[in-house]
Amino acid sequence: MRFALGAATIGVGVLGGIARNKWVAHHLGAAGIGIVGQLTAVQTWLGLAAALGLGIALPPAFGAALGQRDEDRVRRIAWTAFQAVAIAVTIVAAFGLLFAPVLASQFLADATLAPLVRISMLGVLGYAMHSLASGLFAGHTDVRAPLTLAIASAITAVALTFALVPGWGTPGAVLAVSVMLVVGVATTFAIHRRRYASVIARAVPMDREILRSLLRVGAAGLLLALVDQGVMLMARAHLVRTEGVEANGLLQAGLAFSQQVGSIFYVYLTNYVLGRVSQLQGAEAVRDYTRRHWRPLIGLAALAFTAALLFADPFLRLFYSDRFAAARPLAAWLLLGEYAKVTAQCWVISALPLGGLRLWLPLVLSFPIGLGIAYALLSGVGAGSMALPWAYACAGVVNFLAVAIQMSRAGVTLRATDFALLAAASLPVGVLVYVIAR
């Protein structure tokens, strides 16, 4: 039931994204999709930076406090995080407003698009709010509130996109994406206020001890956010400069498709499993829990990604336009990388509560570092628009191998039958990628 609710959360986002992308593609073409996608990546990067990495720090902190039934500490954790992020958002948004021409030149190769960058600063607030809200929900192992958030955000984005794009063009599309999470988070807390009334109803002063403990983990989360999102952002900026904004539009279509499939699993893992595993004691208990959820999750992942590969072409044609059929080979390699990343996440989700930052941080950084190195090598040998999809697939495989080695050393081992299932489940995924990408 929890997994189904998490899948429904992503499904709502997918449907909303389909409606928005179809409308934007119809009115603005691949170039419009490329600009909106790149600005979404910029505001996500800055928003996660403004969240101080606390989206990673909050679930285990809330989970531990709830495990001890310390409601007062839950409240102090929440308000300390809210106040710290409010300060950071103000600083980051001011930076974006002042240096919008520089950001436009760097990431869109066109300084005249600075007004669009300024509009997207609303999205910085939205992503910071979303990060904090997600941490609160995950710490409470609540999979219903994220569904509400997804519905409210999707309705806002679709309604504004349909209303604004025909008259305002690209600025209207950027505005719709930028405000959707602000409205979504506010609506979610209004609807679920009873469950979180004890947390948010009464403000408490910032607790410096709690802030220090959150920032110790949050600093790692911040580093991860900056590296993870930053590597992809810089690679896409290079793609815009070398291949053009339309090539970035095709990449955006394939990337959005692959990440939407992966998000079905990430929602369940972060909103439920992370909070649950944070309450376990010892490597043996974590190992048993990992083994218990491994088989159903890997089976579902293989089924989901196989279906995505089979239906990638009609998806791209129907929900974008016939011009996006060229994105199918890109989408195939991106789906392969995302599949490998999902399998790694099913294993590494317990790394932070089990081994702390020393175990968790190098493993999660292995994906963006691998992506950056692979992209530099592939673009250097003239891979062109395929350099980033190929690099994404390479990074996924590297990420899984790193997780397999280090989590096994930490005592969270899998059985031989678990690996056999992974090999059998991965075969149709690999075959389809090979056939599509030929």
pLDDT digits (tens, 9 = 90+) for 359-378: 888 998 999 999 999 999 99
| Residue 257: pLDDT over 90 | no
Contact 130, 149 (CB under 8 A): yes
pLDDT of residue 4: 63
Render 155-206 in DSSP notation, one character per residue: HHHHHHHHHHHHHH-HHHHHHHHHHHHHHHHHHHHHHTTTTTHHHHSS----
In the block, residue with structure tokens 């809200």: 133
| Residue 180: pLDDT over 80 | yes
DSSP state of 22: H
Which position has the higher pLDDT, 9 or 234? 234
pLDDT of residue 355: 83
Nearest to 273 by CA among 414, 143, 150, 422: 143
Nearest to 322 by CA among 253, 388, 259: 253
Spatial distance between the Cα atoms of 335 and 337, rounded to a whole number of angstroms: 5
What is the SS3 assignment for 53? coil
Contact 346, 302 (CB under 8 A): no
Distances (CA, A) of 182 to 34, 36, 66, 157, 188: 23, 18, 27, 11, 10
pLDDT of residue 5: 60
Distances (CA, A) of 190 to 94, 109, 193, 352: 28, 41, 5, 31
pLDDT of residue 202: 77
pLDDT of residue 10: 63
In this prediction, residues 246-273 reach a mean pLDDT of: 83
| Residue 2: pLDDT over 70 | no
**What confidence category does residue 162 fall into, taking pLDDT thresholds of 50, 70 and 90?**
very high
Instruction: Compute the 3-state secondary structure of the chain and give helix, strand, coil in percent, each to the nearest 5.
Output: 90, 0, 10
What's at 397, amino acid-wise? V
| Residue 111: pLDDT over 70 | yes
In the block, residue with structure tokens 């395929």: 386
Contact 25, 32 (CB under 8 A): yes
Q: Which domain holds residue 104?
A: 2-437
Contact 107, 42 (CB under 8 A): yes
In this prediction, residues 19-43 reach a mean pLDDT of: 84
The 10s digit of each residue's pLDDT in 135-160 is 888 777 777 888 898 899 999 999 99
Nearest to 187 by CA among 219, 135, 146: 146
Token couple for 410: 């930490």
Neighbour count for residue 283 (Cβ, 10 Å): 16
The 10s digit of each residue's pLDDT in 68-96 is 777 888 888 889 999 999 999 999 999 99
How many structural domains are present in the chain?
A: 1
The residues, ordered by sequence, that sit 6+ positions from 118 with a Cβ below 8 Å of its Cβ are: 96, 97, 100
Token couple for 254: 């394939």
pLDDT of residue 205: 86
| Residue 279: pLDDT over 80 | no
Distance of CA 87 to the CA centre of its chain: 23
| Residue 278: pLDDT over 80 | no
pLDDT of residue 141: 73
Whole-structure pTM value: 0.71
The 10s digit of each residue's pLDDT in 295-336 is 999 999 999 999 999 988 888 877 777 777 888 899 999 999
